[in-house]
Structure 1
Amino acid sequence: MEIKKRSAFKDPAQDLAWFENWVKQLESQNNRTYQPLPVQTSLGKTHIWGLHTENETLEPLVIFPGARTTPLFWDFDKNLDNLGRHFRIFLVETNGLPNLSDGNTPDIKSVGYGHWAAEVLTQLKLEKAFIAGASFGGLICMKLALTNPEKIKAAFLLNPGCLQSFSLSPKNLYYNLLPLLAPSRKNVSKFLDKAVFCKPTHTLSPGAEKLIIDYELFAITRYQDRTQKPYDMANELRQVTVPVYLLEGDKDQLFPFQRSVANAQEKLPGLKEVKVFENVAHGIETYGPALKFINTKVTELVKKQK
C-alpha cells in the first residue's frame, strides 16, 4: 500500500509512555483491563484493545475512532457497558491518529483505509463483524464497505465525517481552532463544552472529563499530525450495499445532522434507519443511549438470522 502521509510523536519513547500511563488511569477509573492486541498491517503496527474477546460465542464488534481521539473514548465512565455482554469488542487505534499505532496513512480519498481495515479484521481472525465508527471512524467504515462488504454484518455510523464536508461556520471554526492556536486546559475545556458535549444532557463525570482534557492537550502539543482529514464521500457512497444505521446528535456543529441525514437518505442504498438524539453534540460515542441503540439493533438482527 502506498503511504501518503506520516505522522509521529515528537519524542516517541516519552510520549508513548505518557499514553500508556493515561490508559492505566482509565483502566483504574473503570476497574477493568483492556487486552492489547497489536497486529501487523500494510500501514505498520496497528494496536487494538479488546474486551471479552475470549468468548467466541459473542458477536464481534469492531470500533473505529474519530480524529484526534482514541477508541478508548467510547468507554469513558464504562460507557461500553451499555452494549451489554453481547459483544466481543475490538477497539482499533487507527493508524495516523495519536495512539500506539504507527503513523503511516494512505491517501484519504483512495480505498487504502478500506484495505487496511480488512487486514485488521483478518489478523483478528474475524470473517465477518459488526462495525461502528465515530466521525473519522465513520469514513473508515465506509471505505471497508467499498473494499470488503463481505466482512460486514452491519455498519453503525455515529456523527460520521463522510456524509458532508466539515462545517465552515464561524462558530464551529472558532471553537475547533481555539485549542490548536492557543493550547491550554482552559481552551481545550471550552472546545469540549461547546463542540463535543452538550451539558447537562450529554456530559462526562469529572474524572473522565479530566482524562479527555489531558488527552486532547497531549495530542495537540505532542503529536505531529499530518494525517488527512475526512471528506464528503458523495457519490462513492452509492456503491455501499451493506446495512447501515446512522446515529446523529442534533447539536453536532462539526457536521450538522440535517445535511448528513439528507445525504445518507439520498446516497446510501443500504441505509436501514436514522436515529437522531436530542441535545447530543459531536462526541456521540460517549453517550450511553447511542450505544444502547446499537445493542438493540444488533440483538434484532441476530434474532432474524436465527
Structure 2
Amino acid sequence: MKLILYLALCILLFNCTNKYDKYKATPKYITNAVASNKAYFEAYNESLKLWDVNFEELYIPTTYGVAHVIVSGKSNKESIVLLHGMNASSTMWYPNIKSLSDNYRVFAIDFILEPGKSCIQKDIDDIETVIDWYNEIFYALDLNNFNLIGASRGGWLATNLTLNNPEKIKKLVLLSPAQTFTWIKPSSDLLKNIIYVFSSKEKRVNQTLEAMSNNPNNISDTYIKQYKIGTGKDTLNKLMLKMKPFSRNELKNLKLPTLVLIGDNDAINNEKTIELAKTLQKGQGEIITNAGHFLSIDQADAINTKILEFLNN
C-alpha cells in the first residue's frame, strides 16, 4: 500500500513540474549587467509591469546565444508566437497581451539581433541562420503546431518562418509587415525621419513615434523610455539590407489562412499590400481606421478583436 502511495505521489509531482523550469534561471549577463545594459534591462522590467497578466520569463540556450521568451496564458490552450517590430522588443505587446492570453498560450520572443533580453554569442550573417535560431527555440518549447503573429519587421520574419516551416504554422497574422508585399515607398514621414538623423537622439525618437503612430500621446511613457534607450543601443545589422519583398511565386506558397492588417495612415504600407494579401490562397486583409504603422498600439481594441475573430474562426 505504501509503495502504491509513493508511486502515486511521484506521478503527481512529475505532472506538476513545469517543463520549462530548466529555462527560468536568469543569466549573468542580466543579473550582473554592465552599466550600459543595466539601465535598459531596468526599463524593460518596468515595461513588463504594463502586462496585466501573469507571465514567466524563459532564457533558452541556442547555438547562437540565449533566447529570451515571455510566456503567458494557460498551458492547455492553443499556442501563439509573437514576433515584435524593429527595436520594439516583446514589451510592445502590452496593449494586446491580456486579450491574447485570455484565449491562448502566448510566447513572445525577443529578436536576438535587436534590443531586448536575448543575447547574441555567435555571428548571424543570413536569414537562413535566423530561421535555424527560431527553430531551435520552437524545438525547446515543444511548439509544433501554432499560430504566428508578426509586426513590422517581425511580419517579414514571420513570413519567412512560415515559408520555411509550413507544417508548423496553423494561421499567420501580419501587422503592417515591412518589405513583405511591397517595397517601402518614399513618403513625407520617411523623409522627416531621414532629416532627423542629423538631430539629437531625443528628436529622432520623437519624430519616429510621430511618423509611425497616429496617436503617439497614447503610448505609455514607461514603454517610450525603454524604446528610447533601446534605440540608442541599436546599430544597423546586416540583415536589414537583405530584406526585400517576397516574389509572387514565393507568396503562392503561403497556403495557410493569413490575415494582413495595416493602418490608414501607414508609413510602411498602402492599399497595394491589402490587394496582394487578398490574392493569397487563404488570404484576407483590412485597413484599420485612425491607425499608423504602430496599429497594435494605436487601435489596440480593434486589432485584438480582428485577431481573435480570425484565429477563432
Q: Secondary structure at the match of 2:133?
A: helix
Equivalent of 1:198 in 193, 211, 214: 214
Equivalent of 2:270 in 237, 257, 271: 257
Residue 268 (structure 2) pairs with residue 291 (structure 1): no
- Higher relative contact order, structure no. (Cα contacts within 8 Å, ≥ 6 residues apart): 1
Give me the CA root mean square deviation: 2.3
Query: Which runs of structure 2 are paired with 1:179-190 in the superposition (5 Å)?
Result: 179-190=196-207
Residue 221 (structure 1) shift: 2.2
| Structure 2 counterpart of 1:163 | 181
Cα contact 2:151–2:174 (8 A) shared by 1: yes
Residue 288 (structure 2) pairs with residue 269 (structure 1): no
| Structure 2 counterpart of 1:222 | 233
| Structure 1 counterpart of 2:36 | 15
| Structure 1 counterpart of 2:24 | none
Residue 118 (structure 1) shift: 2.5
Larger Rg, first or second structure (1 or 2): 2
| Structure 2 counterpart of 1:105 | 124
Residue 253 (structure 2) pairs with residue 239 (structure 1): yes
Q: Which residues of structure 2 form unaligned runs of 5+?
A: 1-32
Q: Secondary structure at the match of 1:67?
A: coil
Percent identity among equivalent residues?
21
User: In structure 2, what is the Cα distance between the partners aligned to 1:143 and 1:174?
Assistant: 28
The one-character-per-residue Cα deviations of 1:147-203 (angstroms, maximum 9, x if unpaired) are: 11111110100000111122223x13223335543233344223212x22113xx76
Cα contact 2:146–2:171 (8 A) shared by 1: yes
Equivalent of 1:280 in 283, 286, 291: 291
Residue 91 (structure 1) shift: 0.6
| Structure 2 counterpart of 1:96 | 113
TM-score (norm 2): 0.79
Pair 226,185 (structure 1): closer, same or farther in 2 beyond 3 Å? same
| Structure 1 counterpart of 2:98 | 81
Cα contact 1:183–1:220 (8 A) shared by 2: no
Q: Secondary structure at the match of 2:75?
A: coil
Query: Which runs of structure 2 are paired with 1:139-154 in the superposition (5 Å)?
Result: 139-154=156-171
User: In structure 2, what is the Cα distance between the partners aligned to 1:224 and 1:96?
Assistant: 9
User: In structure 2, what is the Cα distance between the partners aligned to 1:278 and 1:237?
Assistant: 26
Cα contact 1:83–1:291 (8 A) shared by 2: yes
Pair 180,95 (structure 1): closer, same or farther in 2 beyond 3 Å? farther
- Number of equivalences: 273
User: In structure 2, what is the Cα distance between the partners aligned to 1:232 and 1:296?
Assistant: 27
The one-character-per-residue Cα deviations of 1:22-45 (angstroms, maximum 9, x if unpaired) are: 122123344555411121234322
Report the residue type matching 1:145 in the other structure. Answer: T
| Structure 2 counterpart of 1:70 | 89
TM-score (norm 1): 0.80
Pair 79,204 (structure 1): closer, same or farther in 2 beyond 3 Å? farther
Cα contact 2:181–2:276 (8 A) shared by 1: yes
